[in-house]
Amino acid sequence: MIEEVISYSFGSKNLLDDALTHRSYFHECPNAARTHNERMEFLGDAVLGLAITEALFREMPEASESELSRIKSHLISRETLAQIAAQCDIGRHIRLGRGEDITGGRAKTSVLANVMEAVIGAVFLDGGYRAAAEMVAGIYADLILHAGRQRSFPDFKTELQELNQKLFGRLPEYRLVDETGDDHDKTFTYEVHVDGKLCGRGSGRNKKAAQTSAAGMALEKMKATGISPDTSIDVAIEEHGDEEKTSVI
């Protein structure tokens, strides 16, 4: 049971059902669902941000504002949310439409992350902010502990910029290639070109996050080929391809 994993018992079980209902299920089975979870996801996103900010502020009194900001961005990213959702085994409880289910929706990062936010929003509606903050602190306990020890997470854009200036004497170029979703839940996709060559692609809820994701892929490719000032970027593209896609928030 989800309630056991998140250590919270809902007074209104309907709220949990709403949080687990994907738009595809609501449209296919309108008589079996009151609503879908997108509004609750929107609420949960805000609650999560405040809860993580409060937890980091209390647990890391020596951290600077910039350190706290970087760590928060990592903890509330879609990848981290999807990781937590998988650990909570939320995927098998999601109410999905047939098509979304067949195409692997229960394992999609975006679906898992959105449902996790919706569940946080549902706890907030059912028990208030303190209940939601305690639930977030519980499911994030190990990650917050790790963050306190590590103190920071990689800044891929800065790292790629510094590496490219050293190797090629120029900055990487980011190009917006796609923008999808509703106004409250947009996804941006960027490509990054290194020395004039396509070397990474990433998506995120804002432009900075998408660019950071693309930069992370570019760095991974470059490091995997042991790239140096005498090594062509073409090698990285040829060996690894550009089909992979990652996402952060």
Share of the chain residues as helix, strand and coil, in percent rounded to the nearest 5: 60, 10, 25
Residue 122 identity: A
Catalytic status, residue 191: no
Return d(Cα 141, Cα 7) in angstroms, integer: 13
Catalytic entry in 17, 41, 100, 117: 117
CB of 20 closer than 8 Å to CB of 39? no
Catalytic entry in 18, 41, 45, 100: 45
Query: What's the token pair of residue 191?
Result: 């490509």
Q: Is 242 helix (H, G, I), strand (E, B) or coil?
A: coil
Catalytic status, residue 117: yes
Q: Is 215 helix (H, G, I), strand (E, B) or coil?
A: helix
Calculate ∠ Cα 104-107-109, nearest 5°.
Answer: 115
Place of tokens 């975006």: 110
Give the catalytic positions in this structure.
45, 117
